[in-house]
Copies of this chain bind each other. A is one copy, B any other.
């Protein structure tokens, strides 16, 4: 890392929201990180400044052609009063894989991690310490060149903003009901479903709205080609406990390589649970539900960590998962991962990174 991060502190710190009002991504801290890119000059002008609006030309490419990527991770106030991050190096690596797919120049990962560290330290008073709360960290890159030709931007901004958050779902770790989506598709192999780019999320809103209108929390996405293989649930990866095995969709190119997904696989294997990463069809799932072997199902992601699924709606039928309540393995995974994250329990994998 060759760049120094210039720091300008706010002179007007904001009041902090109460823990029970946090929600997800509604409040932002006092500072933010910015790094500029210009073709020929590279990434430059690393700075932490007071959180404030950014000013962009209305022709900035992000508005027109969606050249943008993001990441998400959390900072925790651990029980001994320290601050920890969860596998932040994985986020920076994925950020650059996303950049590559979206024709955005790579960001220096060491600089990104250092920016993250300094920003979290500066705004450490914003890390909530009530149970289930944390400081959500959102690094993102946007294309800022004011030009309407369809080509990669010659200017970008890499930014990090912070938001104190409660649980992602208002209902907390309670099983949700899921609508299996058969009309809309989230992604296709050869597309961008495997990277964290803005367009993937906007494309999923319509299906989500439809599911909500029918009383479901999220949709279960099937692959775009065969409309048969399960890919993600909402904007999370998904796991199924069938008999004594746990199955999760293989990273075929249509789904995001989640960091929580990776952590859950490691954890389950560490416990001696057999995990299969492979194609899993909706038909196989329905069959497993009918014969009683589908014991548990849960989504995984940074925001919710683990989101148990209580029932699936498929072809007019409501399929209960297990007895509809949070499964024993789901609960154990949730407790262990959140326990490692907030320092409540030992971290055998060295996933926790203390910020100091």
**Contact A32 B54, CB 8 Å, known A64-B138, A140-B64, A190-B185:** no
B102 near A205 with CB under 8 A, answer yes
Does A130 belong to the interface (CB within 8 Å)?
no
A39 CB, min distance to chain B CBs, angstroms: 14
Q: Is the interface on chain A under 10, 10 to 19, 20 to 34, or 35 or more residues? A: 35 or more
Does A67 belong to the interface (CB within 8 Å)?
yes
A64 near B70 with CB under 8 A, answer yes
Q: How many copies of this chain?
A: 2
- Bound-state Cα–Cα, A63 to B66, Å: 8
Q: Say which residue of B168, B183, B225 sits within 8 Å of A188 (CB atoms).
A: B225
From A57, A186, A188, A234, name the one whose CB has the most chain B CB atoms within 10 angstroms.
A188
Contacts of A247 in B (CB 8 A): none
- Bound-state Cα–Cα, A306 to B152, Å: 23
- Bound-state Cα–Cα, A189 to B223, Å: 11
A66 near B64 with CB under 8 A, answer no
B28 near A146 with CB under 8 A, answer yes
Contacts of A199 in B (CB 8 A): 66, 192, 197-200, 202-203
B198 near A190 with CB under 8 A, answer no
A142 near B63 with CB under 8 A, answer yes
- Bound-state Cα–Cα, A185 to B193, Å: 11
Contacts of A200 in B (CB 8 A): 66, 199
A187 CB, min distance to chain B CBs, angstroms: 7
- Bound-state Cα–Cα, A65 to B208, Å: 14
Does A206 belong to the interface (CB within 8 Å)?
yes
B66 near A202 with CB under 8 A, answer yes
A25 near B140 with CB under 8 A, answer no
Can you list 16 A-B pairs with a CB-CB distance of less than 8 A?
A: A24-B149, A28-B57, A28-B59, A54-B56, A66-B200, A67-B205, A102-B202, A102-B205, A103-B209, A150-B201, A152-B205, A185-B188, A187-B188, A190-B227, A191-B191, A197-B202
